[in-house]
Amino acid sequence: MEEIRIQKKDRAVSFRVSEEAGEFIVFDMSLSNPAGSRTNYSGKQFREAWKAVESILGETAIPNEIIKYANS
């Protein structure tokens, strides 16, 4: 499993890629968010996973480490 963390101001996201399962998982790591609602996306669509990231952080460029998944 590959993971990158992205932070903007007081918000943070963990973006995980499970290549074996072909799944993307987005966690809201912000301390202001209740622990029970931290998983914002879990599924096989990169576009939907990235929408979850941007719903937390606002408009965000896709990091180079995961850009390869955006094009698949």
Round the average pLDDT of the chain to a whole number and report it.
90
Pick from 53, 51, 48, 56: nearest CA to 31:
56
pLDDT of residue 30: 83
Q: What tokens does 11 get? A: 């918000």
User: What's the total number of domains in the chain?
Assistant: 1
pLDDT of residue 39: 76
Which pTM value belongs to this model? Answer: 0.87
Domain holding 38, by residue range, is 2-70
Q: Above 80 in pLDDT, residue 18?
A: yes
Give 3-state DSSP helix, strand, coil % of the chain, rounded to 5.
25, 35, 40
Mean pLDDT of 43-57: 96
